[in-house]
Structure 1
Amino acid sequence: MEAVIQDVNDASFEHDVIDASREQPVVVDFWAAWCPPCRALGPILEDVAARSPNVTLVKLDTDASPRTAMRYGIRGIPAVKAFNDGAVVDEFVGLQTLPFVERFFATLAPAAPVTLPSDEGGLRALVDSNGENLPARLALGRLLIGAGRLDDADTVLRAAAHEPVADGLRARIELLRSERTGLPPALAQPDGAAELALMPDLITAIRSAGGDERSQLRRVAVGVLTEHTASPEVERLRAQLASALF
């Protein structure tokens, strides 16, 4: 499949690049016909663009559109700039290899979401085949905690103990093993997608806890917040957690 590469110029740049990048990332190849490295890079960009449906590739002839080239400080070509939400978010200059260009495009568009199995056997198969599959490891750990199999869950999560979400799940295991009273009931049924709702109870518990329990509750809270992307709600909860701790 060949990508359809659009030529843009001074007159069309605002619409075809700036405005278009608010819908999906746009990569601009600043080039000129007299430039051999530009002619070598062009097919590489087009090859990767053909395999990157969530990124648009356009070309701008710097000789024909000097105003835009000057606006973006183009001094050497080929120069490649990636635009997202109307602004330059990444760039490189000069002829690059295919793997380099593939990585450049890959960082611009989020990967398609991966659906994990919901059963223990399917999750274990993923973890066994690739020990670096963190989402599968976390999902398996959650499933085992929910089933009350704390030792098995700890074994699964220990391999990723350096990672905040896994550390937070291991802190739950420590709290559940302690059989302390007054802990939030939801600790025993971890659900990554809905756990922000647990945060007010965690913060309340942190305010009154001390010693190891306070440290464990803090680790649980950090794990929950780490798993959620920045948003006004997450920032508000971070501030409340900091207030409870300090």
Structure 2
Amino acid sequence: MSGVVDLAAVKAAQEAKTKAEQARAEAARHGGAGAVSPADLVIDVDEAGFERDVLQRSAEVPVVIDFWAEWCQPCKQLSPVLERLAVEYDGRFLLAKIDVDANQMLMQQFGVQGIPAVFAVVAGQALPLFQGAAGEAQIRETLDQLVQVAEQRFGLTGLVVDPDADPGAQPEPALPEGPHDALLEAAVVALDAGDFAGAVQAYRNVLSDDPANSEAKLGLAQAELLQRVQGMDPQAVRKDAAEKPADAEAQIAAADLDLVGGHVEDAFGRLIETVQRTAGDDRDAVRRRLLELFEVVGTDDPRVVGARRALARALF
């Protein structure tokens, strides 16, 4: 639930959001084709089906996990509220119920210390929401934030719900495959396997035929970033950067590590400060790398918007 998946989700956020919105519109035009029943918004999950029912589904909809047990009285108060809200939110999230007595491994994996405990998985990433009793107002506020983050950062607009759909039916894909889907899928597979050179080549193959393909552009920026940091000695890179604050190459390498480690603001701030300290070709190299990192995170991300303003101030 960590590693390459979070960068992969971020870099394709806008494209995923667009595709999801198109899928919802297409399903509506076809009378609910590709839709799920309201009954399918609440599912029971065990260890055997966790990858399929939670991790894989989290690529299309935020999955809220309710850890509960039959003997837990607060769980019996919380669970019906979550189930009702899952239907009310109309496919904006999927509720997965996990019985801790029957699924001790999952309980340990998430670090659950007591129940009820509620987590979410978004694009393969797990995050805690709240533990113990919670009022409905607090639950709604938390769910609203989850749905907003899932849509803005990962492009997840949720499932299409049709009251007339058959419960348990598998929705059919609403959109046909595009001409480059096979190459893009090959690039993602290569990323997941750690074959960054292969991913770079696959994205370049798409761009050679379709130079304006935004998903390939963003994917290439991500793959090149991961390829650059592969084999780096993090301690040596950070030591070099600390000792040479005005050295463009040292700061660029450290910024790459910052971003891969999830420290987005640190990466941006480091390069903006380096722009202020350098001049000529060094300054231009730092500026170009910063723009590449903007592409990795996503140009609509608020952190990118703020960093662009800071870069403009540093340059002019």
- Give the TM interval when normalised to the shorter protein: 0.3 to 0.5
Larger radius of gyration: 1
Structure with the larger helix share: 2
